[in-house]
Amino acid sequence: MYKQHIILAALLVFCGTASWAQKTLPTESVDVIKQFNARLIDAERFVVPPILPAVDTSNRRQYYNILAKPLNVNYPAPKIRPLEWRSDPTTDIYKTYLQAGMGYPRAFYFDGSHDFVTKDDLNIGVDFNHYSADNSKNLENQRFGSTQINGNAVFKTDKGFSVGGNIGYKTNTLYFYGYNDLDDDFPTQLSYDAKDVKQRFNTFYADAKVYNSEPTVADFNYSASVNLYAMADNYAARETGFDLGLTGTKWFDKKHPLSLTLQTDFTGYEDTTSQSLNNFFLKPNFGFHSDRFRFKVGANIASHTDEFYIYPDLEASVNVVDNLITAFAGIEGGLQKNNFRNLTDYNPFLSSRIDIRNSFYTNFYGGIKGEFKGVKYRGQVGFKNVDNLALFVTNGDSIPRFNVLYDTANIVTISGEISTQLFDNLGLIASVSQNVFDLKREERPWHLPSLTFNVGAVMSMLEKKLKIRGDLYLQNGVPVRSGGTESRNLNPLVDVSAGAEYQLTDNIGVFARVNNMLNNKRQRWQHYPVLGLNGLVGLTARF
């Protein structure tokens, strides 16, 4: 263990050394076309070395009037690079943005941000978000609330580097209302006070980063970052995390990067016992870019509990038909933490006493992408081997919570996505993903979805003052244990949602959003039906 730390320390020192390149003189040629012999007198040559213009590193804040809406995400997620909507360029920069609304059932929403300082060399701002809903009148203790405040700052020095960071606090409150679905299993109807089924996750976090904000003499980019958090819940579970990263990149011919990243990732978790999960990474890679062909060659060298693991980091792509068809393929691997923070982000109804582990994975993928007549597309097929894949099963108590099971799995993923601008004022985006699981011990991938389909459309009208959006979300019913060795699938998700935004003036607007219009009561987690029909209306302001 001490040898490993010494090696990493040596590499850190090595990455910090400076590099320089010899400046070259510009070349020039003169063609003289005449019918007679011209004589040129001797002239003194002036060498004018080229100077790169200063890089524009000023921050520009863009605002998107998008309501917070929890989305179901596959776990583990396939490697999909979503095609984003391009926003219209803004002519005005607003220092303050506010959005507030109320809705059904007993919903409150607020989202805001303010920039205290907006200068070329200094930006200081704060963000705040709150969303809560209470459906207890229809289903006892079905309610939730989430609040987050975040401060951020970026300072650009006159020495060619910048310093930035965030500090914040997030609280997520929910209730274990799954007992309402157990009435058939007990002689009397179950009922609990809110305080007896309340869960709250409190998280303090901070991060900082130092990086070069202007090109260096030798085309060498560098960055150093640190991330830390402290998390606790209502049941005396606590977790802390510390992540330190150093990255250096040397550019050859302005387009071929040679990079080296060092990372240390520490996690400490306590409930009735103490656990630790500490990982170390060394990631060298080289990339080559040409007009028709690109490749990356590298490795992810990981260490955990004095054991070393070497994973490939390879990717290649070739432009087969002038941006119409680009073929790509790659191999990647590494360690993914299943700590308390990550697992409860995915399943908030988790038990507070869990076994935290790494997932060891290797992912092979390939596909095609491109653009044809304004339609951007991407299709991909992948094969992923995962050791310690996290699965979820209920604990069987009168207040249902979930335990974590780990298994080895092979996962075949087929995914695709398209986006297009049908008309000047109408855009469409859609994605689909299908996972096929082959488990070593468990019968089925408990509570992991296999099929997910999303499609959304956005239309702008009235000189873009009015925007109307519609979305369709589909997901298969997840497999669960139904007692003994039997299994079944829960009901699927069919969610149709719509929304509209209208800008009354340059500074004031209104919005409305209706979610789950079909009132689908799908159980994403066994015994916990999702919120049915719900919606929000409110105002937006910017100044």
* pLDDT tens-digit map of 501-533: 999 999 999 999 999 999 999 999 999 999 999
- Opening angle at CA 363, ends 261 and 257, nearest 5: 35
Alpha carbon distance 234, 201 (integer Å): 7
Alpha carbon distance 107, 531 (integer Å): 11
Q: Report the range of poorest mean pLDDT among 84-93, 371-380, 448-457.
A: 84-93
> Residue 92: which pLDDT band, with cuts at 50, 70 and 90?
low
Taking only the tens place, the pLDDT of each residue in 237-259 is 999 999 999 999 999 999 999 99
Question: Across all residues in the chain, what is the average pLDDT?
Answer: 87
Domain count, the chain: 1
Closest CA to 110 of 134, 152, 145: 145
> Residue 461: which pLDDT band, with cuts at 50, 70 and 90?
very high
Tokens describing residue 296: 């990356």
Asked whether the bond before 76 is cis by omega within 30 degrees of 0, the reply is yes
| pLDDT (mean) for 360-382 | 97
Q: With 0-12 CB in 10 A as exposed, 13-18 as middle and 19+ as buried, what is 8?
A: middle
> Residue 8: which pLDDT band, with cuts at 50, 70 and 90?
very low
What phi and psi values does residue 445 have, to the nearest 5 degrees?
-80, 85
Share of the chain above pLDDT 90, in %: 78
| pLDDT (mean) for 452-461 | 97
What phi and psi values does residue 26 have, to the nearest 5 degrees?
-70, 155
| pLDDT (mean) for 405-415 | 98
- For residue 91, what pLDDT is reported? 52
Q: Which CATH number goes with the domain that contains 242?
A: 2.40.170.20
Q: How many residues comprise the chain? A: 543
- For residue 188, what pLDDT is reported? 76
> Residue 323: which pLDDT band, with cuts at 50, 70 and 90?
confident
Residue 402 within any structural domain of the chain: yes
* Helix, strand, or coil (residue 344): helix
> Residue 405: CB partners within 8 Å, gap ≥ 6?
390, 391, 392, 393, 442, 446
Alpha carbon distance 460, 472 (integer Å): 19
Alpha carbon distance 430, 420 (integer Å): 9
How far does Cα 505 stand from its chain's mean position?
33
CA separation (Å) from 502 to 226, 316, 511, 539? 41, 45, 6, 10
Q: Report the range of poorest mean pLDDT among 130-144, 174-188, 343-357, 361-375.
A: 174-188
> Residue 482: which pLDDT band, with cuts at 50, 70 and 90?
confident
Tokens describing residue 529: 């039906």
Structural domain boundaries enclosing 388:
2-83+93-542
Residue 88 within any structural domain of the chain: no
How far does Cα 53 stand from its chain's mean position?
33
Alpha carbon distance 354, 370 (integer Å): 44
Helix runs in 281-428, H state only = 340-346
Taking only the tens place, the pLDDT of each residue in 299-317 is 999 999 999 999 999 999 9
Taking only the tens place, the pLDDT of each residue in 52-80 is 444 444 444 444 343 343 334 344 444 44
- For residue 27, what pLDDT is reported? 42
177 contacts 527 by C-beta, under 8 angstroms: no
Residue 499 within any structural domain of the chain: yes
Residue 144 within any structural domain of the chain: yes
Higher-confidence residue: 272 or 129? 129
Closest CA to 470 of 447, 454, 486, 453: 454
- Specify which residues 305 forms β-bridges with: none
Residue type, 189: Q
- For residue 60, what pLDDT is reported? 43
Closest CA to 56 of 214, 222, 216: 214
> Residue 210: which pLDDT band, with cuts at 50, 70 and 90?
very high
How far does Cα 371 stand from its chain's mean position?
25
